[in-house]
Amino acid sequence: MLIVSDPAARRAFGWREVLLVGGAIVVIVLGLSIVTSVLPSGAQWFVFQSPLLIVVILVGTVVVLAGLLRGPRVR
């Protein structure tokens, strides 16, 4: 059995990619914070006092873990 690996497919992420993703996450969180601050008090109550944030975190975790379990995409 002969296994051939493509070095380009196994390329690791560099600092540039890590910083871009980190910066994008910071911008998204700050944007959501600003949007939440201008919501009416009833909507703010729903965001902070209901289980909405827990559901968002759980769904996000499942999506990330499912992507990790699938492994790299072959093109």
Residue-wise pLDDT for 4-60, tens only, equals: 565 555 667 788 988 999 999 999 999 989 999 999 999 999 888 999 889 999 999
In this structure, are residues 72 and 9 in contact, taking their beta carbons and an 8 Å threshold?
yes
How high is the pLDDT of residue 4? 54
pTM of the model: 0.59
What number is the average pLDDT over the span 53-70? Answer: 90
Residue extents of the structural domains in the chain: 15-70
Inter-helix orientation angle 52-70/41-49, to 10°: 50
Task: Tell me which amino acid residue 65 is.
Answer: L
The rounded distance, in Å, linking the Cα atoms of 52 and 63 is: 17
In this structure, are residues 36 and 46 in contact, taking their beta carbons and an 8 Å threshold?
no
The rounded distance, in Å, linking the Cα atoms of 20 and 17 is: 5
